[in-house]
Amino acid sequence: MSDTPYDDHFVSWFRAVTPYINAFRGKTFVIAFGGKAIASEFIKTLAYDVNLLASLGIRLVLVHGARPQIEEELREKNLESRYHRGYRITDAETLDCVLDAVGSVYLEIEAMLSQGLPNTPMANSRIRVIGGNFITGQPIGVLDGIDMHYAGKVRKVDSEGINAQLGLGNIVLLNCEGPSPTGEIFNLQMEEVAEAIAVAIKADKLVYLTDSRGVTDESGELLDAVTADEASQLLRDAGWLSNDIMRYLPCAVRASRVGVGRVHLIGYTQDGALLRELFTHDGVGTVVTRESLENIREAKPDDIAALIALIEPMEQEGILVHRPRELLEREIEQFSIMLHDGIIVGCAALYQHSPEEAELACLAVSPEHREWGYGEQLMERIVRRAKKAGIKRLCVLTTRTEHWFVERGFKLGTVDDLPAAKKEMYNYQRRSKVLFKTL
């Protein structure tokens, strides 16, 4: 059968997600979702996607809520639903409704994760779902003169027990109930349970499925990434945010500040949102981090394999000069690299040819990341390094990007203008354009 555009798309897509698969294997994710997500039309495909993550070697803890299901139980028993400061006032009758609704939802999720039906994405799957008393609750007590009864907060997380189950390859499924050492059961907030677990087990990612596509600005534009400080500022005056975001975002801020690597907020109404957020550069929701996702640093020997994977396709196209691995190993200290979410997406090198002259070389950014301005950031990094080294003039040789450099202050020159050492190495077959920038 001949190749088709679909085949090409599949191959390029599969190669694009490979770095994420490698990066995520063995990592720990906590995925939290409320009762509205469970009642949505995409809950079955969410179960398929969770199965896929588990099959890739990702350690998973699932935390679920049941707010609308509890509301339904209360309506059936003609009981009033009361809240104070976002917490449900949970008296004895309300607690009975909570236990019934939460127990029913738990069994529903467990059943969906266990369906190894033929002709489905979970065919022949062997997922083991484990629950347990990993969460200890404590009463909130009296708030502003209001007795909260059995409304509670997380007192303790059995991180050793959870990690033991994850080490066996099990998915840990937890709800929003928290027994106390005295034998009482408290109604906890799902988002606080997920936050406490992610912090206790030092999760690499905490994911909240929400009633909106993520955090937006006042005009409704999605913010694909915010720092904890930026999110805190938003919460001070962000009446436009959805109910879920207003509840989950404070937890995301706290979790990111105490060590959870990434906190994602994504919509549950988009099919495959979990996979799109985790396995694509752009994502579909908002990621909250302690610091900016982008990071430029100098390269280390451990980066060589990823560096080769980045520049090799451009060498094959003739955009870059071929650099054997042995040469990269010798010259690794000349390179600066751009990382996005821990993955190398760009590089550039600085070669000094004389006390006052140097070359900007091997400036490369992966195709799917070129629209983000990473090339310019890498160029600026090399310029700063050159200035620090006392370089007065920077040259660059290019066969494809002459105008890009001209737009950024470089001027056309000739081969004769090159430093003597570089002039001797000039490849007349490539006929590279020569440009210079005075620093």
Q: Tell me 151's DSSP state.
A: B
Q: How is residue 394 written in tokens?
A: 């920077």
Question: Residue 24 carries which side chain, given as an amino acid letter?
Answer: F
* CATH number of the domain where residue 17 is located: 3.40.1160.10
Q: Which of 162, 165, 206, 242 is nearest to 33 (CA)?
A: 206
* 293: number of Cβ within 10 Å: 15
CA–CA separation, 313 vs 63, rounded Å?
42
CA–CA separation, 251 vs 263, rounded Å?
9
Alpha helices (H) in 224-324, listed in sequence order: 228-236, 243-257, 273-279, 304-316
pLDDT at 116: 60
- Both 80 and 195 in one domain: the answer is yes
Question: Is 1 contained in some domain?
Answer: no
Note whether 44 and 117 are within 8 A (CB): no
Q: Which of 230, 295, 232, 222 is nearest to 265 (CA)?
A: 222
Question: Is 412 contained in some domain?
Answer: yes
pLDDT at 1: 46
Give me the sheet containing 294-298, strands edge to edge.
294-298, 335-340, 343-354, 357-365, 393-398, 433-438, 411-412
- Both 312 and 212 in one domain: the answer is no
Question: Is 41 contained in some domain?
Answer: yes
Note whether 285 and 252 are within 8 A (CB): no
Question: Is 346 contained in some domain?
Answer: yes
pLDDT at 298: 94
- Both 281 and 361 in one domain: the answer is no
Give the tens place of pLDDT for each residue, 137-193. Answer: 999 999 999 999 999 999 999 999 999 999 999 999 999 999 999 889 999 999 999
DSSP H/E element including 157: strand 152-157
* Domain range enclosing 220: 6-289
Q: Tell me 116's DSSP state.
A: -
* CATH number of the domain where residue 409 is located: 3.40.630.30
- Both 239 and 301 in one domain: the answer is no
Contacts of 204 (CB under 8 A, 6+ apart): 24, 27, 28, 29, 260, 261, 262
- Both 275 and 326 in one domain: the answer is no
- Both 143 and 280 in one domain: the answer is yes
Q: Is 9 exposed, middle or buried (0-12, 13-18, 19+ CB in 10 A)?
A: exposed
- Both 244 and 103 in one domain: the answer is yes
pLDDT at 40: 85
pLDDT at 45: 85
- pLDDT means per 10 residues in the chain (439 residues)? 62 80 92 91 86 92 95 94 93 95 93 68 73 94 93 95 95 94 93 96 95 89 89 87 93 92 91 90 86 83 93 90 92 93 91 94 90 88 92 94 91 92 89 93
